[in-house]
Structure 1
């Protein structure tokens, strides 16, 4: 069942039941090719709004809270649930095929959706992907250390650990103390220890085997900062090489979240990628 409501006349919001007793909250805005904004475990659907205002003039944007996030149902999930939920959400909204934009660990979800539903995936944009061309051991250890911090010291301490990692040096200096404190306040207002822990635990279930990338047949744009603590420049370029139709764009003076630190250029790159793929049609699939 879809329950549509109006939000200031420009955003369509609603809830979709994706399995018995589990509903996902979504919002949709703009017009053009469908582009799904896929959260990692540190975001929710509304988090995209400040960084996608131009994109809604080029694409019909769909963002949603995964089960356990934001305004969606509180429900336990394994990794496969998130992939299945996205397919069910698109079915309910009448979206036959779409571009997917995923950040950090959500890049893995986008990859897995493209593998499971190749005919429904027009293209992928992987922004600061937590996806190594060499394997996932390091990433799993990083996430495990975050869970230990969360369990032992709480959500404020976890943010203190995360912030200097995901922010590039330049971005952290520009934001200053005011930016740090503002983002911390927003982070603590959005999340609970339970929701963050559940999201991190689910991400540990994802398969990081680089061999899987060869099975992604749609065009893929990898956007990475040259100061990304997870994925360096050489690794980002190698990651794109492992994808048959992949290419990488490196943002200078940028950390793990290029859409946050360089939103204008990021939206330009995404809009150009979508337009290029649409113009090229389905050749090569």
Structure 2
């Protein structure tokens, strides 16, 4: 399937996968000024049509079709949150076609056995009125009666994703609409049970970026994820939640720029 994609800046290409799941990729912006971004609209999101095979495991084929369209042998992939599920699925299915991976605040408990410390991080934030209100909505679960209700729930729970809830965070949280049907399709098929072991064949350098105050993913599981990759490493962004390019842009760029600037492995 041919995906619509946006190109931001010169250079690259750096294929950039949004999370959500199924959130319009406009919320990524240019990732604090990264250039050469190729940002696909995933199936059923934005200007890309929906259709069968919409799970994150199946959409790996769409990513490879994009690679062919871009005319490159291997991809540099930057992915955020639920988008890292697709990036990891692609790497597992097409390991020789990955040049580098950057996984930003990835969910990891589906891949590793390490217990999550998200509850501890949440407890540390209790007492903040905006956070407490958002947590109550989060614990009630999403309203999937229609697109508007689903988007309203995501907006109501947004403060959980940030270390603080100031003007910049509030403005960012308002960007990018979710598509309910696409989100449901995204999780419609589970990846193979041996997915964690398959990542041992992904020899591309892999950078996992963790926010030390990420109440959505926890911190410990994200750190542990890097160990599944032969050349995995971690960059910890302090005083940061789920959106490091918004919350700590300088530290985020420092980590990503240094990683992408390294000479390729031979």
TM-score, normalising length from structure 1? 0.73
Q: Quickly say closer, same or farther: Cα 1:271–1:248, change in 2 above 3 A.
A: same
- Contact 2:80 2:103 (8 Å CA) reproduced: yes
Alignment counterpart, residue 150 of structure 1, candidates 144, 147, 157: 144
Of the three residues 154, 164, 180, the one matched with 2:159 is: 164
Q: Distance in 2 between matches of 1:199 and 1:137?
A: 25
CA offset digits 1:13-58 (Å, max 9, x no partner): xxxxx2xxxx4211223334421101122533433334342x21xx
Q: How does 1:260-275 map to 2 (within 5 A)?
A: 260-275=246-261
Work out which structure has the larger RCO, using CA pairs closer than 8 Å and 6 or more positions apart in sequence.
Answer: 2
1:214 is the counterpart of 2:214? no
Paired with 1:210 and 1:81, the residues of 2 have a C-alpha distance of 17
Q: How does 1:66-81 map to 2 (within 5 A)?
A: 66-76=42-52, 77-81=54-58
Equivalent in the alignment of 2:112: 134
Runs (4+) off by over 6 Å: 144-147
Question: Residues 275 and 206 of structure 1: is their aligned pair in 2 closer, same or farther, counting only changes over 3 Å?
Answer: farther
Change in CA separation of 1:72 and 1:123 when aligned onto 2, cut-off 3 Å: same
TM-score, L = length of structure 2: 0.77
| CA distance 1:156–1:198, shift in 2 (3 Å) | closer
CA 185–224 in structure 1, closer or farther in 2 if over 3 Å, else same? closer
Q: Give the total of aligned pairs.
A: 239
Contact 2:56 2:89 (8 Å CA) reproduced: no
Distance 1:125 1:240 in 2: 11
Structure 1: 5+ residue stretches without partners: 1-17, 139-143
Normalized per residue, which structure has more strand? 1
- RMSD between superposed Cα atoms in Å: 3.0
CA distance in 2, matches of 1:28, 1:146: 38
Q: Is the 8 A contact 1:127 1:259 kept in 2?
A: no
For residue 145 of structure 1, report the CA deviation from its aligned partner: 7.4
Counterpart CA distance in 1 for 2:140 and 2:11 is 38
By percentage of residues, which structure has more helix? Answer: 1
The C-alpha deviation readout for 1:114-141, integer Å capped at 9, x for no partner, is 1222222111100000122535998xxx
> Does residue 256 in structure 1 map to residue 235 in structure 2?
no
Deviation at residue 222 of structure 1 after TM alignment: 0.5
Say which SS state the counterpart of residue 87 (structure 2) adopts.
helix
State the match for 1:27 in structure 2: 6
